[in-house]
Amino acid sequence: MTLGYTNLLDDYPEKDALRQQLAVEQGYLCAYCMRRISLDFQATVIEHVRPQATYPKEQLEYGNLVLCCDGKENDIDKQNHCDGSKKNSEIKYSPATVPYIETTIRYERNGRIFSNDSQWNSDLDTVLNLNVKRICNNRKAAWAAVQDWLAHNPGQRTRSEIEARLILLRSRNHENKMIEYCGVMAYVLKRHPSFQSA
């Protein structure tokens, strides 16, 4: 760890433009939990995937930066997640390594996120604290929404219908915003028998 490093981002003159660029690139979703984020500087954090205290030379490297929610829930430490939980810890993977990152993550119907990679699983669960009740409930609702869509026409969802839905999930609205928890929804759709059988 480098002691006494200078936080270059605090005085970075283009910080607002950087926050805007990251928000647009991420579809206004938190890089870690996928909930909606805004450009409110008090509710979002420009996060260093590799901690700036440990890697001061990477403070302004774009590939090391993501935008996330502040992760503070009711001022209760054990409920904090994302940046509020990670702080200066390191994690194995960057959420910016899409689509690769998607292959490392799994979801359960109850909203729990996990990985078969033990280190990454620990990072998701402990370092980022992504299995707090509120976020699990949000992912559970996203899972249920997909199940409702699939059940609307039981037994008749074709691969082409599912592919069209996946394209919709990856698209952005007129404000450049993606659907919250779209990663969970895509995960469920890709495991539907019609999609798997082709």
- Whether the per-residue pLDDT at 3 is higher than 60: the answer is no
74 pLDDT tier (thresholds 50, 70, 90): low
pLDDT at position 2 is 46
Q: What is the pLDDT of residues 31-45, one digit of tens each?
A: 999 999 988 777 899
Q: What is the pLDDT of residues 81-133, one digit of tens each?
A: 999 999 999 999 999 887 788 899 999 999 999 999 999 999 999 999 999 99
- Whether the per-residue pLDDT at 1 is higher than 50: the answer is no
Q: What is the pTM of this model?
A: 0.89
Per DSSP, the three-state class of 107 is: strand
CA distances from 91 to 27, 49, 94, 121 (A): 22, 7, 7, 10
Select from 33, 38, 41 the least CA-distant residue to 15. 41
Measured between alpha carbons, how far is 12 from 31 in angstroms, rounded to an integer?
21
pLDDT at position 27 is 95
Select from 83, 85, 90, 86 the least CA-distant residue to 67. 83
- Whether the per-residue pLDDT at 79 is higher than 60: the answer is yes
Measured between alpha carbons, how far is 182 from 163 in angstroms, rounded to an integer?
14
**For the chain, domain boundaries:** 8-196
For residues 166 and 150, the answer to whether their CB atoms sit within 8 Å is: no
pLDDT at position 152 is 84
Question: Which residue's entry shows tokens 């054990």?
Answer: 78
Measured between alpha carbons, how far is 111 from 128 in angstroms, rounded to an integer?
15
